[in-house]
Amino acid sequence: MIAMTMGEIADAVGGKIVGGDPATLVDGLSYTDSREVTSGGVFFAKPGEFTDGHLFAPQAVERGAALVVVDHELELDAPQLVVADVVDALGDLARTVIAKVREAGILRIVGITGSNGKTTTKNLLGTILSRVGQTVAPRASFNNEVGAPLTMLEVTDETRFLVAEMGASREGDIARLIRMAKPDVGVVLKVGLAHAGEFGGIEATQRAKSEMVTDLSADDIAVLNADDPRVAAMAPMTRARVLWFGEDGEDAPDRVRATGVRSGRAGTAFRLHLPDGEERDVAFRVLGEHHVANALAASSAAFALGVGIDDIVAGLESVTRAERWRMEVVGNARGVTVINDAYNASPDSMAAALKTLVQLREPGGRAIAVLGEMSELGDASGAEHDRIGLLAVRLGIDQVVVVGSGARRLHISTINEGSWDGESAFVETQDEAYSLLASMLREGDTVLVKSSNSAGLRHLGDRLGELFS
């Protein structure tokens, strides 16, 4: 964070200083997890769903917090800033810091949203931009009203690029983040059924994602996915210049596009085309053809910021995995390959992962899908689990193992569609799944573990990875 006095921070968030000197300078990082606090940092005692950050304020002080932001005064041997709402204060401070850094004139901001692919795209873009200037990008999936401002607070006067991943659980969430840091380049990847249950349907999801571009100015750039009709429909909603990306469109030289896409166990190769006529072959080592769209989105944002094709390609080729637990090869020994993709799952990403599994199946080997619940689908949940079960059969996947009662309907649909004898198995727990798979897997097998984060199958994937590493 840029250096600010306690008085300046108090003014930014509308708080009252207790036990501190307003003239004291603070320039450490900001945290909501007391275990991560470093000396000189600011600890925001955020109330949580299961606990309250105020309970951990003493630990934050022990670790060297220079200032603790609270919604009521505590008995602490450290300066406190008492505010009405800790999360609102975090956002207010982020907005103030971004505005101050903007005054230096070099900071450019990219906002990224979409139902799928946000984290992968921000990782790719962050890697590309880091080649040409100091870049701040989120850790993990820091994309909500807490994670996004924490990332924003990492900028300094030397920061050239801020990559802001902007997620949403309801309409208005993205608009709130944009008020903290309005993008120069706004990227919309896809509108799908992820979190549709929270939004209240796909139309509400589309409205929420469109918040990324509706407030852009005529000097800004909206990067839109030409292959997604719901994203493409956002073009008339923005004053910004539109830069399209997509795998389709050989007759559209003004878009960022890919041709000659070829997927395999080493990743995905394609030829990248930019609107200025430049083109290069890309050896993209991230597994899954569906990640080409994310590579195109990152390339588009970089191109919009003036980055040349050589740096774009070098950045893409240096990335070896999308993110932890996203199409990550965690085991590849004794002839068995384990791919852990269980950090998140929507119907679109589940379908893409299953298609990738079939593409990666070894000649003569088996494709085995270990699947858990896709959460937050609302009324569409049953039908979408049915659809994935049917898809698994139609793709010719050799063995399906369904884990957890929330995904049982997927198992039933698989059986009904395939009339199989044992090719789909259902177990209630991860331990049961591990025992079954440990006895079942053999040389030549390629195993995909896929579920929503709440189902926790990423831990099962790691256990299988250790077994075959």
Q: How far apart are CA 457 and CA 221, in angstroms?
A: 38
48 is in an annotated binding site: no
Beta-carbon count within 10 A of 193 CB: 22
264 is in an annotated binding site: no
Q: How far apart are CA 240 and CA 275, in angstroms?
A: 17
The DSSP bridge pattern shows strands 336-341 and 328-333 to be antiparallel
118 is in an annotated binding site: yes
* Res 249: pLDDT: 60
190 is in an annotated binding site: no
Q: How far apart are CA 349 and CA 172, in angstroms?
A: 24
* Res 250: pLDDT: 65
User: Quick one: 75 exposed, middle or buried, by C-beta within 10 A (0-12, 13-18, 19+)?
Assistant: exposed
CB 450, CB 372: distance < 8 Å: yes
Task: Please state whether 162 falls in left (phi above 0), alpha (psi between -120 and 50) or beta.
Answer: beta
Q: How far apart are CA 316 and CA 282, in angstroms?
A: 8
**Nearest of 452, 463, 324 to residue 388 by alpha carbon:** 452
What would be the CATH architecture of the domain defined by 328-467? Alpha-Beta Complex (3.90)
> What tens digit of pLDDT does each residue of 102-146 get?
998 899 999 999 988 898 999 999 999 999 999 999 987 788 999
Q: How far apart are CA 400 and CA 279, in angstroms?
A: 41
Low-confidence ranges of the chain (pLDDT < 50): none
Cα-based angle 402, 459, 115 (whole degrees, multiple of 5): 75
Q: How far apart are CA 178 and CA 51, in angstroms?
A: 28
The CATH code for residues 4-85 is 3.40.1390.10
Domain boundaries, the chain: 4-85, 104-318, 328-467
Cα-based angle 382, 385, 387 (whole degrees, multiple of 5): 110
* Res 469: pLDDT: 85
* Res 379: pLDDT: 84
Q: How far apart are CA 325 and CA 457, in angstroms?
A: 10
* Res 424: pLDDT: 92
130 is in an annotated binding site: no
Residues in Cβ contact with 306 at an 8 Å cutoff, skipping those fewer than 6 apart? none
* Res 198: pLDDT: 60
Instruction: Confirm or reject CATH 3.40.1190.10 for domain 104-318, answering yes or no.
Output: yes
Tally the residues of the chain.
469
Residues in Cβ contact with 75 at an 8 Å cutoff, skipping those fewer than 6 apart? none
Which amino acid appears at position 160 of this protein? Answer: R
* Res 36: pLDDT: 94
